[in-house]
Amino acid sequence: MIYMRTLLVVDSDARTQSELRARLAREGYNVLTAPCANEGLELIVSAEPSAVLLEQALPDGSGFDLCRAFRRRTSVPILMMGSRSVESDRVRALDIGADDFVMKPFGFDELAARIRAALRRYDSASASYAGHGSLSGGGLSTGPFTADTGSRTIVLRGKRLALTSKEFDLLLFFMKNPGRVFTKEMLYANIWDADFDGDTRTVMVYISRLRKKIEDCPDKPELLLNVWGVGYKLNCSEEKTA
């Protein structure tokens, strides 16, 4: 039996729903649709989709608020869709837990590629990383961090971190490579699975978000460090920095 992934499309536009259902079905997905936030919330729990396509403007609420609600319930990839080409909307979507932001109108081939890339990153991060740090049964221990790749959770000094899917991927990547310095280009290529497009803001947004969750003082980080002029590294020795 071939495993068919389920995608949830939350969009009030009936034409968009119909087109995405037909095109994504031809790509081999089982597609569920919801026209509003309330139905989307019901399906995220009952259907347990592999990924979500979420319109930012819904008739019964904000897609941003729904994204937050989704993220409290699941770590699967969330791709937000929006019609306004406003940088603040894209940054806000990333800040609240979306893994990607797709502008309407979009080419279907590009959308399908973004879905595949998001699922590929999610699957890769969920797998066991043999040979990196202390690993047993899907678990990874690096310095003060302990990760469970099966449940996609990371614990810092006994406290479970509230991470989005992409934040988990990024922190786990650093845990697999403790002390190693990565440029923004390298991080973008590994975490976003794409060639660097010259825009450093995406990487910087996620570094900032991670620091707010793992550092005692995000403005003076002691775990996720800047290596000035080069990039970032995970300091597992927790050495004090000036």
Percentage above 90 pLDDT, the chain: 43
User: The tokens 């825009």 sit on which residue?
Assistant: 199
Per-residue model confidence (pLDDT) at position 130: 35
Q: Report whether pLDDT(16) > 70.
A: yes
Q: pTM higher than 0.85 for the full model?
A: no
Structural domain count, the chain? 2
Q: Are residues 136 and 115 in the same domain?
A: no
Give the model confidence (pLDDT) of 194-238 as tens digits. Answer: 655 656 788 899 999 999 999 999 999 999 999 888 889 999 764
**DSSP code, position 182:** B
Query: Could you give the CA distance from residue 102 to residue 125 in angstroms, rounded to a whole number?
Result: 22
> Phi and psi at residue 103, in whole multiples of 5°?
-80, 135
Q: Are residues 178 and 145 in the same domain?
A: yes
| pLDDT classification of 95: cutoffs 50, 70, 90 | confident
Per-residue model confidence (pLDDT) at position 197: 61
140 part of a folded domain:
yes
Peptide linkage before 178 cis (omega within 30 of 0): no
Q: Report whether pLDDT(192) > 90.
A: no
Q: Are residues 111 and 142 in the same domain?
A: no
Give the residue numbers spanning the domain of 189.
Answer: 129-234
Q: Count, in order, helices (H) and strands (E) of the chain.
A: 8, 14
Q: Which CATH number belongs to the domain containing residue 88 in this structure?
A: 3.40.50.2300
